[in-house]
Amino acid sequence: MRIEVLVDVKTILGEGPLWDVEQQRLYWIDSFGCNIFRCTVDGREVRAWDVPAKIGSMALRKDGNGAICSLANGFHLLDFKTGETTLIHDPEPELKTTRINDGKVDRRGRFISGSMDTMEAGPNGSLYRVDPDFKITKLDSGIIVSNGPCFSPDDKTFYFADSWSGEIWAYDYDIQTGSVSNRRTFTKIDTSTGGAADGSTVDAEGCLWNAQVYDGKLKRYTPDGQLERVIDMPVKKVTSVMFGGPNLDILFVTSMAKPPLPRFPGDGVLRGSLFAIYDLGIKGVPEPRFGA
């Protein structure tokens, strides 16, 4: 195994690595810099787009040159050609201290994304599903910081974390309807070291990978929630993970250059870098696009 810096753009809050198998390109975001980035598998041809508010996550659309984005003020569509964004819906207009955060697409083209309390203090966030026809449904509530949504390879389990609960949860997932049920603890996170569950992905073997922010560790859990391995990263503020590359065997890792709140620690010179981990001997699964 080897860890390399793929792109050093010093993202304030790097998040959401997304490998697109159609374009063979990697996307990632700077939540606080209000940017979406794209590059080749070897970190070249870097391209960036601005968005008009803090961005929590994005997914590419099936029907062309755009994306669906979780912005602070609701769900938006982004046209890559023009750079213009269009509001779909703001599900929380009355809540001034929340923003939409992490999200992923299921294999029927639905976008599942949750909101968070911007001070990371109160259970003011919720979990939403955006259908291909843009209908929005609330799936859960009482969440402090929504993070790490992803799906098992058989589509029967939806994983999700409220970062400061100290747990990653598993729900039964109905791929036919996009509904969740039977929330339970998948694994517990030791937050006594200052770390918390951030972004996740599931590999082809059904194991869940989680970036444990502020603790500088990537952890792989078996489908029954047992810790299988730990990778120590060269920075503490790792934020999310995604497999990509032509063979889906490179693990891309985002990080943040500046913590969002004063109570969180700083980091070294590599803070905010996009990393690539090679020679793990493990493959991921293709990420779906949003839409029917």
Catalytic residue numbers read 198
Structure tokens at 201: 């992905």
For the chain, the three-class secondary structure string (H helix, E strand, C coil) is CEEEEEECCCCCCEEEEEEECCCCEEEEEECCCCEEEEECCCCCCCEEEECCCCEEEEEEECCCCEEEEEECCEEEEEECCCCCEEEEECCCCCCCCEEEEEEEECCCCCEEEEEEECCCCCCCEEEEEECCCCCEEEEEEEECEEEEEEECCCCCEEEEEEHHHCEEEEEEEECCCCEEEEEEEEEECCHHHCCEEEEEEEECCCCEEEEEECCCEEEEECCCCCEEEEEECCCCCEEEEEEECCCCCEEEEEECCCCCCCCCCCCCCCCCCEEEEECCCCCECCCCCECC
- Of the candidates 202, 239, 245, which has an alpha carbon nearest to the alpha carbon of residue 217? 239
